[in-house]
Structure 1
Amino acid sequence: MLPEEGVNAVRVVVGLLVRGDYEELETLTEGRRLSAVEMAGAVTASGRDLISPPDSAFADLEVAEIEQVSGGERAFRVALPLWTAQEGLSALALRLTLTEVMDGVWTVEVDGIEEAAAG
């Protein structure tokens, strides 16, 4: 289970994404994995307008803990369906890697913004 501080980090990322603040999101993630241009391109290519998900969406995060090789850090892969003005809950998903680098301090990487795989 993702600790509350990790969930809060996901909320921050989603908020920046919904506002279209890709430059700030790139700064937050230190440009790891996706740049601001790549994130903006993924959202634009979807043809959808992102909206803030309900609070309940953050209680239903798809989370998998992964092994870290350095310093005993905890890391999690997180997937969250995004919400859009056109669809509400959409097939578009945000994939993140969150790493707890110190107690309660998290780094975030945006791994992808893409259509969720049909399950």
Structure 2
Amino acid sequence: MLPEEAVDVLRTVAALLASGAYEELETLTEGRRLTAPMMAEAVSAHGGLAAPPPEELAVVEPVELETGDDYERAYHVDVPLRTVQDGRPALLAQLTVAEAMQGVWTVELVGFREP
């Protein structure tokens, strides 16, 4: 299970993606992998998307990553985004969350994939 601070980061990312705030998300992720236009293109192909319920993000299954000396802990997580119309899973946002120092988490949007 992810620490609550990391889950908060996932909630923020999901909300930004669902609301179309790609430039804010690019700033949050420091544009490490995807730019705002790249995010918009990937998401727009699926129509309107909604963030998952907060309780669903609290139980996502993270994959722990080797961190070397750069981070305390790091995880890969797939965050499901649902269609606005029927609520079915439409797209998975692939994220890496890393604890830079105790209680401080960074996020990288690695990409998107079909569920």
How far residue 60 of structure 1 moved from its aligned partner, in angstroms, is: 2.8
How far residue 51 of structure 1 moved from its aligned partner, in angstroms, is: 1.5
1:27-106 alignment runs, 5 A limit: 27-46=27-46, 48-106=47-105
Amino acid at match of 1:40: A
How far residue 67 of structure 1 moved from its aligned partner, in angstroms, is: 0.6
Q: TM-score, with normalisation over the residues of structure 1?
A: 0.89
Amino acid at match of 1:38: M
Given that 1:75 and 1:99 are in contact with CA atoms closer than 8 Å, whether structure 2 keeps it comes out as yes
How far residue 72 of structure 1 moved from its aligned partner, in angstroms, is: 5.0
- Classify the secondary structure of the residue corresponding to 1:88: coil
Amino acid at match of 1:68: T
My pick for the range that moved more, 62-71 or 29-38, is 62-71
User: Aligned pair count?
Assistant: 115
Given that 1:62 and 1:80 are in contact with CA atoms closer than 8 Å, whether structure 2 keeps it comes out as no
**Unmatched 5+ residue regions in structure 1?**
none
Alignment deviations for residues 13-34 of structure 1 (CA, whole Å, 9 cap, x no partner): 1111111000000000000111
Amino acid at match of 1:69: G
**Unmatched 5+ residue regions in structure 2?**
none
How far residue 44 of structure 1 moved from its aligned partner, in angstroms, is: 1.1
Taking the aligned partners of 1:20 and 1:69, their CA distance within structure 2 comes to: 34
Percentage of matched positions with identical amino acids: 52
My pick for the range that moved more, 102-111 or 57-66, is 57-66
> Where do 4+ consecutive residues of structure 1 move more than 3 Å?
none
- Superposed CA RMSD: 1.4
Amino acid at match of 1:11: R
